[in-house]
Amino acid sequence: MSTVLVASPSAFLRIGLLQQLRRRQGSMVPAEAATAAEAVRILAGGEIDLAIVDDALLATPTGDRLVATIERHHGRTLVIATREPPHGMSQARTGMPRVIPGVVDGVLNIGAIARSLPAALDEVAVERSLRRSPGGAARAPIAHHCANPSRGRSDIVLVAASTGGPSALSLLLQQLGPPRLPVVVAQHMPADRTAGFAQHLAAESGLDVIERGAGDLPSHAQVTVLRGGSDYRLARGRAGQFRLVATEVAGNVFHPSADLLFGSAAEAGMTVIAVVLSGMGDDGARGAAAVAARGGRVLVQEFASCVVAGMPSATRAVCASAIVASVPEIAERLSRWPMANNQLAAAIPED
């Protein structure tokens, strides 16, 4: 559960932001500040995971102290620009947080903020996951985080694939058999092709495979292919169910974004098994590092068997604990890893 500070002299804006945050992540510990001095005091306490600050506070007599405090919380702060022009923080400064425009034609516009907030939060979530250890403390290099994943029971399997992915996915599901955990597949593919692709995987594997966009995932273990052409973050609903939320990753050319899918799941506290299959580019590498940093496991397809080894090799390069394996070996590990908490665990080697 995260602790979020919302700082603004406007009670209306604070209420609106907190409503947006609750819709996004359900459970959180909110903190509010109406003045810059209050915001500085709360941030100095060191217990805030995310701060959303109205830039009107930066123009107050205590604004310089607040700017300095925000810069020390680099990567954990969003600024809502409610002044025209935005006040106080130069884009050239090292600790510059993301700025969300909040004014349209000189008037505070909650709708504009609500449209921009999810993408900004997604970027913060992925970067925070990469910077934090499983205990939420030191900002060590990614390779250090990836060196010692936990061995607890996993919640979900997330799979990334691009060029060469369809054949690898078909083989993976054939070898896997009925999954013990929900499986969500991010295959780079246009929106008009993923429904047919899901049907193809179902026919090839004999498993229940569905295409799905935004909304709740089925409660039982099932294979879900993300609808193409869009990006999704993974969250938990109020009842604990897995929920896909459609969003847009600025500058992303491959959809669905595996980095966003993996990183959002890690940020939501899920224990993930991340699988990166054949594909061009490096999508999935940063997200897989976030998964490992939060105690999850990472598997990548052996490079020689990939049509294009870009995604698996990029993932292995930033995550030393990622296991390189053939597709049948990946399926075999997926079939036994969810059993890690039962009495048979001692008889099952982890590596």
Output b/e per residue, 15-50; b: 16+ Cβ within 10 A.
ebbbebbeebbbebeebbbebbebbbebbeeeebbb
* Catalytic residue (one of 188, 231, 264, 321): 188
Single-letter amino acid, residue 197: F
- Of the residues 8, 129, 162, 257, only one is catalytic, namely 162
Told to judge if 283 belongs to the known catalytic residues of this protein, a careful annotator would answer yes
- Contact at 8 Å (CB) between 300 and 146? no
Q: Are strands 103-104 and 107-108 parallel, antiparallel or unpaired?
A: antiparallel
299 forms beta bridges with 275, 323
Residues 6 or more apart in contact with residue 240 via CB below 8 angstroms: none
- Angstrom CA distances, 291 to 43, 86, 193, 269, stand at 27, 35, 28, 10
Quick check: 282 and 258 in contact, CB under 8 A?
no
| Active-site residue, selected from the candidate residues 49, 54, 259, 283 | 283
* Contact of 324 with 316, CB cutoff 8 Å: yes
Residues classed as catalytic: 162, 188, 283
